[in-house]
Amino acid sequence: MTMSGESAIKGIRARGHGLPIVVMTGHVELDQKEGLGVLGVNTVLPKPFKLAALIEAVRTLA
C-alpha cells in the first residue's frame, strides 16, 4: 500500500494523535509549507538538511 505524506498526516490527525510531526522534504515552497501547518505539521525540514537541524527540531518539540 502506498500512501502520500499528506494522507499519512491526515490519518494520524484523524485518529486523534497529538504526536509532533516533522516533515523532511525536498519539495517545499512557501504555500505548501503553510498548507502543512494547517494539517498539523509542527516542523518542516527542507532537504538536504544537517543532522544538527533535525536534532534541534526534535529538542524543540520534546
pLDDT tens per residue across all 62 residues of the chain = 677 888 999 999 999 988 999 999 887 776 677 788 888 899 999 999 999 999 999 999 98
Q: What is the 3-state secondary structure (H, E, C) of 6-54?
A: HHHHHHHHHCCCCCCCEEEECCCCHHHHHHHHHHCCCEEEECCCCHHHH
Q: What is the pTM assigned to this prediction?
A: 0.78
CATH number for the domain spanning 31: value is 3.40.50.2300
- H/E stretch holding 39 reads helix 30-39
* Beta pairing partners, 43: 22
Count of domains observed in the chain: 1
Query: Which CA distances in Å does 59 have to 18, 20, 24, 32, 62?
Result: 17, 11, 16, 24, 5
Q: Which domain holds residue 42?
A: 5-61
